Amino acid sequence: MKKRVLITGAAGFLGSHLCDRFIKEDYHVIGMDNLITGDLKNIEHLFKLEQFEFYNHDVSKFVHVSGGLDYILHFASPASPIDYLKIPIQTLKVGSLGTHNLLGLAKEKKARIMIASTSEVYGDPLVHPQTEDYYGNVNTIGPRGVYDEAKRFQESITMAYHRFHGVETRIARIFNTYGPRMRLNDGRVIPAFIGQALRGEDLTVFGDGSQTRSFCYVDDEVEGLYRLLLSDYVEPVNIGNPDEISILDFAKEIIKLTNSDQKIVLKPLPKDDPMQRQPNIDKAKKILGWEPKVSRAEGMKKTYDYFKSLSKEELYRSEH
Ligand code: NAD
Ligand code: UDP
């Protein structure tokens, strides 16, 4: 009998790569998604497989799955700032009510559950690089608060289910991850810059571009998540790539990579945009024996190849 895993957010960027990984490891994979920010195209290659099932369902409503479950990975949630600004209430609901539903399901099925938390729980961090014992600096009522606080609540309710009900839980604090299947128009910096370069538009750097991020290639991220799920470690673990770069330097790198002669234009910095972000991954190294292997140059080349393969129609499709 194959082990059975439920993956929420299966039609999204990370969820679809997780589905691929668990199929490869010979699990029976049940994908669930309401397609609010995802795309069935990301998992259409799995539909022909007997070991894959898909439920079109909003996990903020009661979740039912027939049969047993060994693992649940709760990855459903809008994840890009423009998405969660557009759908703030759904974002709060999927992080809170959705997580509650999935913890209840994990309890009923005696399944182990891993939740997709985020570096955003650190807010605009006053500690650098961020270690898991830093409590964070989040503006609860700011525009990003809907995402950050939903994720902070998600961690709290997950620990409560672990402590009070004995549910086996894992908490991944995921830092900026990138790769093929990111949505071209999701507003995150990598699809934004590559899309602009491909359309011959100027690259829009927010603020003066001195804010930093540390980007992790999706294959590395999935490996870290897989190891965390199978580990016996209950407290949050940072999973990300510590290779930090300013957004201005990153824009210059993309201009080189895409061999374009686009200009950089400065636009206002969105409210509460974190000024620096870099994971301390000592815990992941020690507990999971994991660290990222794919350099930014290699990962960005693969990502650029993916975006180049999209049709003209996709490239020019506007969501705004
Ligand atoms: P994504 O938008 O590509 O995927 C999210 C998926 O969840 C989409 O397919 C969407 O349709 C689905 N979804 C949203 N609300 C739902 C609901 N109520 N019911 C069912 N499905 C729902 O985003 P992603 O980058 O793949 O992120 C996946 C998860 O990882 C999210 O929980 C996000 O917070 C977390 N995360 C991602 C990153 C990153 O850099 N990609 C960083 C930190 C945390
Ligand atoms: N950013 C930018 N131009 C864009 C999109 C994003 O300069 O067109 C900046 C954004 O302000 C932030 C960084 O790039 O400082 C990363 O943004 P993203 O939305 O990818 O992720 P997050 O802010 O959630 O880390």
Q: For a pocket test of ligand 1, which of 7, 18, 32, 36 has the largest count of ligand atoms closer than 8 A to its C-beta? A: 36
First to last CA, the chain: 46
pLDDT at 26 (0 to 100): 98
Q: How many CB atoms within 10 Å of residue 66?
A: 7
Per the document, the length of the chain is 320
What is the position in ligand 1's atom list of the atom closest to the CA of 83? Answer: 2
Q: Which atom of ligand 1 is nearest to the CA of 10?
A: 9
| Residue-wise pLDDT tens digits, 143-195 | 999 999 999 999 999 999 999 999 999 999 999 999 999 999 999 999 999 99
- pLDDT < 70 positions in the chain: 319-320
Is residue 147 among the annotated active site residues?
yes
User: Does the interface ipTM go beyond 0.95?
Assistant: yes
Tokens describing residue 53: 């099932």
Active-site choice (27, 71, 147, 304): 147
pLDDT at 152: 98
Cα 188 to averaged position of ligand 1 atoms, centre (Å): 13
Write down the pLDDT at residue 317: 84
CB-ligand 2 contact for 282 (6 Å cutoff): no
pLDDT recorded at residue 318:
73
Q: Is 182 in the pocket of ligand 2 (CB under 6 A)?
A: no
**What pLDDT does 261 receive?**
87
The reported pLDDT for the residue numbered 257 is: 96
Q: Is 246 in the pocket of ligand 2 (CB under 6 A)?
A: no
Q: What pLDDT shows up at residue 287?
A: 98
Q: What confidence score (pLDDT) does residue 75 get?
A: 99
pLDDT of residue 319: 66
At 60, list the tokens: 């903020």
Query: pLDDT digits over 55-87, tens only?
Result: 999 999 999 999 999 999 999 999 999 999 999
pLDDT of the residue at 242? 98
What's phi and psi for 142, nearest 5 deg? -75, 170
Q: What is the DSSP string of the chain?
A: ---EEEEETTTSHHHHHHHHHHHHTT-EEEEEE--SS--GGGTGGGTT-TTEEEEE--TTS-----S--SEEEE--S--SHHHHHHSHHHHHHIIIIIHHHHHHHHHHHT-EEEEEEEGGGGBS-SSSSBPTT---B--TTSTTHHHHHHHHHHHHHHHHHHHHH---EEEEEE--EE-TT--TTS--HHHHHHHHHHHTPPEEEETTS--EEE-EEHHHHHHHHHHHHHS---S-EEES---EEEHHHHHHHHHHHTT--PPEEEEPPPTT--S---B--HHIIIII-------HHHHHHHHHHHHHTS-HHHHH----
Residue from 202, 213, 249, 250 to probe ligand 2 pocket by mutation (most atoms less than 8 Å from CB): 213
For the CA of 119, the closest atom of ligand 2 is: 25
For atom 5 of ligand 2, the residue with the nearest CA is 189
- Phi/psi at 232 (5° precision): -110, 25
* pTM, two decimal places: 0.98
